[in-house]
């Protein structure tokens, strides 16, 4: 029987999809339509993020703790032969960004975050490119359906306030593809600061050149600052906001810089599976330097109302067939819609 909730979910999915099509970031293909019908709705997905971390009105439902940053991207022209995006022509283009840690609690101690993130909104000749990147090059799951299951397995038990270890273990056993994410964390602990981490697109995209020739790519932002692992302090006395504090100190001395590195897939490399790395010998080019010059509070800074929807792409960059991308776009819009209609309580 169709009830009100089902209708609301169906309406949200349809509205998100129509919005993406109207914005020119998606076209309907039978393949996408089948995937969309099978995928959880944005409402379900965001409800589940809330179930894991509790509602924190006014804040992002994931990556809730963060800081706004501003600067520019200095393009060197190296990527222009592969993508007609205006941003790849040599020049300097304005950037609004956000550095954050994963999770839905905006007051969490930075020491608990095992994943850092960098999101960017870049504008060149009126073309907008939004990208949100994580400090681990793979994602734990391949599809939105399995992400929903992972979130369901992570909802804290009412008695203990923590996820039930047996549910978490059962999920891991049913989804061995999550192992790559855990392995990466073991070998590469999170960076000591925001400024010395590498941030990865994780999902694949397609570059289109002026002639319509396509290349499948992933990208990363690689820091000029030397990576050092986060040091775990045994007492609870560490600064809970050490990441934004140390970034502010660094920016007092000099801008913070990362190189935008484009990695090209070869035939057989998966474009629709964010749990799998590509071989390390793939061709890479350095497309230019991201220069961050200032930071602002996320409570009233320029990144506050932005959702860094990964499907807002300029001509010359297109989505791949990765099933996570459409689900991300819809969930970010839903999360933004909720937080902009709430007052903050923290
Ligand atoms: C189906 C898969 C995913 C879902 C449902 C999801 C969900 C979300 C949601 C709800 C937000 C908050 C958005 C906002 O309020 O503006 C968010 C933020 C974010 N997500 Fe995802 N996410 C997914 C996959 C990924 C992947 C694969 C990456 C890897 C790069 C990623 C990176 C980020 C980053 C960096 C942010 C913070 C952006 C900001 O600073 O505003 N997410 N995600």
Q: Which residue has the tokens 């999902």?
A: 203
Q: How confident is the model at residue 49 (pLDDT cuts 50, 70, 90)?
A: very high
Q: Whose C-alpha lies nearest to ligand 1, atom 23?
A: 328
Query: CA 130, CA 308: separation in Å to the nearest integer?
Result: 6
DSSP classification of residue 338: H
- pLDDT number for residue 343: 76
Which residues partner with 229 through β-bridges? 191
- Among 53, 117, 145, 276, which is best to mutate for testing ligand 1, by the most ligand atoms less than 8 A from CB? 117
Least Cα distance to 134 among 94, 88, 173, 184 occurs for 184
Q: What is the mean pLDDT of the chain?
A: 90
pTM to 2 decimal places: 0.90
Determine if residue 194 is labeled as part of a ligand binding site: no
Please write the tens of the pLDDT for every residue from 306-345.
Answer: 999 999 999 999 999 999 999 999 999 999 999 999 976 5
Of the listed ranges 25-29, 145-149, 258-262, the least confidently predicted one is 25-29
Q: Is 63 a catalytic residue?
A: yes
Name the 3-class secondary structure at 118.
strand
Where do the structural domains in the chain lie, given as residue ranges?
Answer: 4-340
Q: Which two tokens stand for residue 328?
A: 């991300």
| Interval 179-188 mean pLDDT | 95
Question: In this prediction, what percent of the chain has a pLDDT beyond 90?
Answer: 82
Residue ranges in 164-228 assigned as alpha helix (H): 165-174, 179-187
Using a 6 Å cutoff on CB, does residue 49 contact ligand 1?
A: yes
What is the CATH code of the structural domain delimited by 4-340?
Answer: 2.40.180.10
Using a 6 Å cutoff on CB, does residue 132 contact ligand 1?
A: yes
């Amino acid at each position: 029987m169709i009830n009100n909730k089902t209708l609301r979910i169906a309406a949200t999915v349809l509205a998100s999809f129509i919005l993406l099509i109207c914005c020119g970031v998606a076209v309907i293909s039978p393949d996408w339509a089948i995937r969309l019908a099978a995928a959880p709705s944005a409402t379900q997905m965001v409800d589940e993020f809330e179930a894991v971390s509790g509602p924190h009105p006014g804040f992002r439902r994931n990556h809730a703790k963060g800081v706004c940053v501003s600067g520019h991207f200095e393009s060197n022209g190296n990527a222009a032969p592969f993508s007609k995006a205006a941003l790849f022509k040599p020049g300097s283009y304005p950037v609004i960004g956000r550095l954050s840690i994963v999770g839905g609690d905006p007051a969490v101690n930075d020491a608990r975050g095992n994943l850092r993130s960098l999101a960017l909104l870049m504008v060149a000749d009126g073309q907008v490119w939004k990208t949100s990147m994580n400090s681990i090059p793979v994602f734990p799951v391949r599809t939105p359906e399995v992400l929903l299951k992972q979130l369901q397995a992570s909802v804290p038990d009412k008695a203990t306030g923590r996820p039930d270890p047996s549910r978490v273990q059962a999920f891991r056993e049913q989804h061995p593809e999550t192992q790559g994410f855990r392995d990466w964390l073991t070998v590469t602990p999170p960076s000591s600061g925001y400024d010395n981490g590498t941030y990865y697109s994780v999902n694949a995209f397609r570059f289109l050149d002026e002639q319509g020739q396509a290349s499948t790519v992933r990208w990363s932002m690689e820091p000029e600052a030397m990576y050092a692992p986060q040091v775990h302090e045994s007492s609870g006395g560490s600064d809970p906001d050490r990441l934004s504090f140390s970034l502010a100190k660094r920016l007092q001395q000099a801008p913070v810089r990362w190189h935008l590195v484009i990695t090209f897939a070869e035939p057989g490399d998966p474009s629709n599976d964010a749990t799998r790395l590509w071989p390390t010998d793939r061709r890479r080019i350095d497309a230019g330097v991201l220069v961050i010059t200032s930071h602002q509070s996320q409570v009233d800074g320029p990144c506050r109302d932005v959702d860094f929807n990964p499907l807002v792409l300029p001509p010359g960059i297109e989505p791949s067939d990765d099933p996570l991308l459409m689900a991300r776009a819809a969930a970010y819009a839903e999360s933004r819609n909720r937080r902009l209609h709430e007052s903050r309580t923290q």
